[in-house]
Amino acid sequence: MGFRDRSIRFQGINNYVPAMVSAASVLHGAPSPFSLGTPAAVSASAVASATAADAVATTRVAYSYTADSTYGRTLRLTPSGDPGNAAAIDIFGEDYLGQPMAERFTGASGATAILYGKKAFYRVTHSKIVTASSNAVTWGIGTGWALGLPYKSDVAWAKEAGVFVPLYKRDFWSFADVAGAAVGGGPSGAWLKAPCPGFAKTLEQTVGMPAGSTNDPVVTVELGGVAIVGLTVTGDTSGAATGSETTDVPTTVGYSANNRFRTGDLIEIVIADADTSGAIRVGLEITPTQVRLPILTDPQTLTTGDPRGTYEPLMTPDGASEIVVGLVGDNAKNSSGNGGLHGIRHVVA
């Protein structure tokens, strides 16, 4: 039996159902197909090209953006220059249900990197300055890579541009063994090709054979030739026992401009020269963002992820290729009776 993928929903009407138990479009005991539409390429200014970041606090700017994906899409903010401080702005709108929602974006002094959002907006109505930038810069407000989902669920399968694609849903490790001669003979390393979009979570170095080296190998990770800040391990090959491990995480944990990659991007694990070093094994734990699970935090905050989860396609959105996912609904509620198929209620600042 077929079903209509999405019914008409009028702007201004909130269709969110607290603790929702069932829906006609969600099959029991099997994945249900949902089209996420034919989203366009990511844009730096689909919502606004230049919103003043140095306006006084509480300044409000109206927008009229509607997502190009059936159930909404994440946002991205780009400062035109160094804000000079931790400038912050709240973005307001609605999800595909018409449920009011908001998300906070905070920059940093000296940083001009893109800020990536976590929540899937269907409409963006306005922004409000929380902390004005100390420098005269603007915010470019555009679209991100991740697409919203209709229900709190897990993705069982996905089809992109008419082709079924592999799924990467949980953290996984990728390892490489490097001989002592390579480590001691000069800068070396290993190359990984990202099978999915995601970010580096943990770096690990394991001592294969202590060699009495006085120069323990320093291992870092680079994306596009740029090191992930703070992600460094130095294994004790001079005296540690075989099998000893050293691990580290980035300074800024999670998905960020300095720590994100797309399908097919090259990830370089760089090993500095360490004369007379023994063999080592290096490993990188990757968190895929192809499927981001629903965030169950109750109540939601301005910086938590989407309460129904998101899907980031392996392919590059082009405005013509349809993205379809098979979802297994999760109608579970927490001890307070909140949750259900529509997830935890969105926060509104």
Could you give the domains of the chain? 32-154+292-329 (no CATH), 172-288 (2.60.120)
Residues above pLDDT 70, as percent of the chain: 91
- The winner for highest mean pLDDT among 23-27, 212-216, 235-239, 274-278 is 23-27
- Which of 34-43, 177-186, 221-230 has the weakest average pLDDT? 177-186
Q: How far is CA 198 from the centre of its chain?
A: 7
Distance linking the first and last C-alpha atoms of the chain: 41
The counts of H helices and E strands in the chain are 1, 22
| pLDDT tens, position by position, 290-344 | 999 999 999 999 999 999 999 999 999 999 999 999 999 999 999 999 999 999 9
pLDDT for 145? 98
Distances (CA, A) of 21 to 152, 337, 339, 340, 342: 11, 11, 9, 6, 9
Query: Peptide bond before 299: cis, by omega within 30 degrees of 0?
Result: yes
pTM: 0.93
